[in-house]
Chains A and B, each alone.
Chain A
Amino acid sequence: MTPADVDARIRDLVAPFNKKGIAIEDSTTFAGDLEFDSLTVMDFVAEIEDAFDVIISMNQQAEIENWGQLVAAVHKLQDS
């Protein structure tokens, strides 16, 4: 998948969690802009892991603050 494909796929997955319908750009943060709490993060990460058949460890999650970083990380993981 290209980064654009990954972006589109995760965009589908985030919709149910983006309760306020915030417009998402690369700089959109999960904790700040999307107001994700730890439980939402777990459910959202599990959706991505299942969709791409990858693992995003808590160590990796700690490095991901915004949308652009997430797409880049998932793109890299599914390639490896």
Chain B
Amino acid sequence: MTETLAPVQPVDLLAKFDPIIQTREQLLAAGVEDPFNLVMEQVLSPTRAICNGRDTILLGTYNYMGMTFDPDVIAAGKQAMEDFGAGTTGSRVLNGTFRDHRDVEAALREFYAMDHAMVFSTGYQANLGVISTLAGKGDYIILDIDSHASIYDGCAMGRAEVVPFKHNDVEALEKRLKRIPEGAGKLVVLEGVYSMMGDVAPLKEMVRIAKENGAMVLVDEAHSMGFIGEHGRGVAEDQGVIDDVDFIIGTFSKSVGTVGGFCVSNHPKFEVLRLVCRPYVFTAALPPSVMASSATSIRKLMHGGNKRAHLWENSRTLHKGLIDLGFKLGTETPQSAIIAVIMPDLEKGAMMWEALLKEGLYVNLARPPATPAGMTLLRCSLCAEHSAEQVQTILGMFERAGKAIGII
């Protein structure tokens, strides 16, 4: 005999996201193209694509050095795919370390002039893995409040005590370091360039203070690799403190133009991380094509002086042009290849984003909670492959869209 069970209505676990669903529906009901559902039907170059059917200049892809279409980078990837197949189907510590995984780590050691390099499947996983493995229960992580989500997630995963300090505030960092119980493990986590506003950290002072207070230092240089510092090693190099940084985290999905994350270090015990870092061990290694493309790209970036100079020229021109047009920017001076244009609110920001898209320009619409202080930003990231003419075209698009929406 079968009993009929009365179905019990489950608590809807997605109900907590109702406010987000509502905000999104309101935005779309106003007739705005969905900023989080853009499709690139064709990618023509590092700076141009067909987006939602329109020929569009790309100004929000972090493709700082334009390596995505570099012929050598593509050729290396094709060859590796021919020779080693489409994927690894395995963890780095089992069957997933191929020739090119070793080679890309060698390329990173050359690029940073450091003893050790470890490659992760994404930049997110590099932060998640390294931070959670370094700082565990009972240890302290002192971090900038505006740190990237992957840093916060790494902190949560490791269960260390997390002590945030006000963005880029040297004194706030020092006060907190001094209050941490004696003998506790301390990791100071900083970023070279903060990706929302495009501002640079005062690493020189912060790294010194961290060292004076017995802390280890990790710096995420995701948004500076390849064009900041004499050798493109980042803000820590530029400010002369790279030798005092214990761990540098970086990514391949920006200047390198592929995908993947990494950590480089001179710590003598660094290699043990390969055995104990869960986001390294319990996931498949990147495809050999990605590794070969990345190694080629990293070695080319070591000789990218001219491209670097042009990227800075682009950043300065766009920054000055936008200020002259009357836009409010995230930084008073161009500090990186990111220029954040501050919008009055989410509604105006979405309208401006759409107006620019219709002009043929793609930028990132960034909004809370990803942004500091609840701001809505149009985040522009420049590429060394943007021509001087393209930058002028971009300024014209900003002028027309800004006037149409009533922001300038």
Name A residues whose Cβ lies closer than 8 Å to a Cβ of B.
37-39, 42-43, 46, 49-50, 53-55, 57-60
Question: Is A57 within 8 A of B163, CB to CB?
Answer: yes
Whether B162 contacts A59 by the Cβ 8 Å rule is yes
Main secondary structure of the interface of A (DSSP, over half): helix
A3 vs chain B, min Cβ distance (A): 21
A38 CB → nearest B CB, Å:
7
Q: In the complex, which of the residues A43, A49, A58 has the most CB atoms of chain B within 10 Å of its own CB atom? A: A58
Q: What would be 21 A-B contacts, judged by CB atoms less than 8 Å apart?
A: A38-B369, A42-B145, A42-B164, A43-B166, A46-B165, A46-B166, A49-B179, A50-B175, A54-B179, A55-B161, A55-B179, A55-B180, A57-B140, A58-B155, A58-B161, A58-B162, A58-B163, A58-B164, A59-B161, A59-B162, A60-B161
B residues near A, CB below 8 A?
A: 140, 145, 155, 161-166, 172, 175-176, 179-180, 369, 372-374
Contact residues in B for A50 (Cβ distance below 8 Å): 175
What residues of chain B lie closer than 8 Å to A37, measured between beta carbons?
374
Interface of B is mostly: mixed
**Chain A residues with Cβ under 8 A from B176's Cβ?**
49, 55
Shortest beta-carbon distance from B355 to chain A in Å: 29
Bound-state Cα–Cα, A53 to B163, Å: 14
- Beyond A58-B155, A59-B162, 16 extra complex contacts between A and B, CB < 8 Å: A38-B369, A39-B374, A42-B145, A49-B179, A50-B175, A53-B179, A54-B179, A55-B161, A55-B163, A55-B176, A55-B179, A57-B140, A57-B162, A57-B163, A58-B161, A58-B163
Complex Cα gap A39–B368 (Å): 12
Chain A neighbourhood of B164, CB < 8 A: 42, 58
Q: Which of A46, A53, A54, A58 interacts with B172 by CB under 8 Å?
A: A46
Q: Give CA–CA (A43, B165) in the complex, Å.
A: 9
